[in-house]
């Protein structure tokens, strides 16, 4: 909920700033006077500080979640390997006992016939119609060509949003 109020407070402050700039057009030309006026007449800096605190907290959470995801993925991998190992062990014991089926209290197990799958020895030797081509733009090459003044049909240069640099050290 605090984020919702922060956005409302920011909208109010932006409106206040708009009114100040409309009422005092000389503020457009003098950045020092503009920042002093905005600081004195609005809560802009307090809103920015609150937003910065929220942003930093969110970044901390992103890092913590990312680290946890790595730990959980490693744990999942261990359990996947254990599951595969137990399946192999069950199959090996059933083969050694020459049993195709076993009924237990919790499960019925049966060995199935091996299935045929396709293996590829040489992808380049496959005839047309037996492979998929994935077409993907090489944005690095396109950007390099644009930088050298070339025009690339089907591609344009797109200007992103204004960045925000936050230095804390």
Can you give the residue ranges of every domain in the chain?
A: 2-82
Taking only the tens of pLDDT, the chain with its 169 residues reads: 557 789 999 999 999 999 999 999 998 899 999 999 999 999 999 999 999 999 999 999 999 999 999 999 999 999 999 999 999 999 999 999 999 999 999 999 999 998 999 999 999 999 888 989 899 999 999 999 999 999 999 999 999 888 778 777 7
Q: Are 17 and 42 in contact (CB under 8 A)?
A: yes
Per the listing, tokens 């890092």 go with 63
Q: Which two tokens stand for residue 54?
A: 């929220």
Return the beta strands (E) in the chain as ranges: 101-103, 108-110
Q: Which two tokens stand for residue 118?
A: 């396709």
DSSP 21: H
């Amino acid at each position: 909920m605090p984020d919702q109020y922060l956005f409302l407070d920011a909208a109010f402050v932006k409106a206040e700033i708009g009114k100040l700039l409309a009422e005092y057009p000389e503020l457009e030309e003098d950045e020092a006077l503009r920042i002093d006026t905005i600081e004195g007449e609005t809560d802009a800096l307090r809103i920015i500080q609150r937003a910065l605190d929220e942003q930093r907290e969110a970044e901390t959470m992103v890092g913590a979640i990312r680290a946890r995801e790595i730990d959980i993925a490693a744990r999942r991998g261990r359990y996947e390997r254990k599951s595969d190992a137990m399946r192999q062990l069950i199959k090996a014991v059933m083969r050694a006992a020459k049993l195709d089926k076993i009924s237990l209290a919790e499960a019925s197990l049966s060995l199935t016939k091996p299935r045929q799958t396709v293996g590829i020895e040489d992808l380049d030797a496959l005839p047309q119609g037996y492979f998929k081509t994935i077409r993907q733009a090489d944005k690095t090459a396109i950007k390099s060509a644009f930088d050298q003044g070339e025009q690339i049909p089907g591609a344009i240069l797109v200007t992103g949003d204004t960045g925000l640099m936050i230095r804390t050290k």
